[in-house]
Amino acid sequence: MKSGKRWEAELVPERRERILIVDDEATNRYFLETALSREYETVLACDGFEAVTLMREKRPDLILLDVMMPGLSGFDLCRMIKSEEPFSEIPVIFLTALDSVEAETEGLEAGGIDFLQKPVNPLLLKLRIGNHLELNRRNRLIREQMALLIIQKEELERAYDKISQIATIDELTGLRNRRFFNSSLTAAISMARRHGQPLSVILADLDHFKLVNDNFGHHAGDAVLAAFGRVLRDTVRAEDIVARWGGEEFIILLQNSDAPSAVLLAERLRVACEDISLEMHGVTVSFGVTELKERDDDESFLARADRAMYRAKREGRNRVAVG
């Protein structure tokens, strides 16, 4: 992000600014050129058509425009300039002998930023030109900063999405983490209640997992956890939420599922682990299943699943118990 000081520095023009002087009378062109050429680079055009050519070639920072000219009038030329990107940003000051409210109105409506009567005082002209050029530099800078801000905002949003995703994923298994599960649980419970649908949870705990770490090292332990994570991912439905609850514990939230169908799924998971026993280093899994009851809150719902899982352990492990 650019600091305030930098911002001010960018308002100082990098080069001499260029002024296009458009007037059909040579004496007027000469007068203006003489008045301005010390401070500014001047480009002279004797009619509207030459002005258009020079504008495209020289990209002036400001245009001093006579109104009454043969061919294209100053008003018509101004309307042309204002309708053509990127020239529409160039400030146009009318300099004319016309002295009427109507003329001034037409000039400002055509897109002119100022309307001065001839003969103009050179000092006043320079002050006005200076003001308009500075305003234009500020506007340009604001537009650039806005464009930059939009880009930065998009980058920040992308980074934020990535961080939020990382913050909800368990690194080892690629499953959701406990934090994500907890934040989804409350919403899932109220949705189940609103739609009168059953909601079940399966708590899974790897049996004697500590032995794998102790006997074969942490790499082997991690491999077992990852293997079970894959079993879970391959078995559950897309709408179910699977998370690593912590350590060797995993949890699955089954939307629109009652206890009997949750038991079936748990049983499938149990068998799938036996099928890849080698990969699991012989580790089996105990499951606790429960369905949401009317008086349940998040805590009592999960506590019942936990008790069921411990009963499965007590009853000999590698089994599914319902709470």
DSSP readout, 119-164?
SPPHHHHHHHHHHHHHHHHHHHHHHHHHHHHHHHHHHHHHHHHHHH
Pick between residue 95 and residue 322 the one whose CB is nearest to Mg ion. 95
Asked if residue 141 binds Mg ion (CB under 5 A), the reply is no
Asked if residue 29 binds Mg ion (CB under 5 A), the reply is no
Pick between residue 119 and residue 282 the one whose CB is nearest to Mg ion. 119
Three-state secondary-structure class, residue 189: helix
Three-state secondary-structure class, residue 203: strand
Among 66, 106, 207, 306, the residue binding Mg ion under the rule CB under 5 A is 66
Asked if residue 249 binds Mg ion (CB under 5 A), the reply is no
Asked if residue 68 binds Mg ion (CB under 5 A), the reply is yes
**279 has catalytic annotation:** no
Asked if residue 46 binds Mg ion (CB under 5 A), the reply is no
CA–CA distance, 103 with 163 (Å, rounded to integer): 60
Q: Name the DSSP class of 92.
A: E
Asked if residue 24 binds Mg ion (CB under 5 A), the reply is yes
Candidates 46-54, 63-71, 218-226, 285-293: pick the segment binding Mg ion (CB under 5 A): 63-71
Pick the catalytic residue from 157, 248, 291, 294: 248
Q: How far is the CB of 18 from Mg ion (least distance, A)?
A: 22
Q: Is 18 exposed, middle or buried (0-12, 13-18, 19+ CB in 10 A)?
A: middle
Please state, in angstroms and as integers, the Cα–Cα distance from residue 292 to each residue in 225, 228, 259, 265, 323, following that order. Answer: 27, 25, 9, 16, 10
Q: How far is the CB of 97 from Mg ion (least distance, A)?
A: 7
Active site members:
248
- Give the interface with Mg ion as residue ranges (CB under 5 A): 24, 66, 68-69
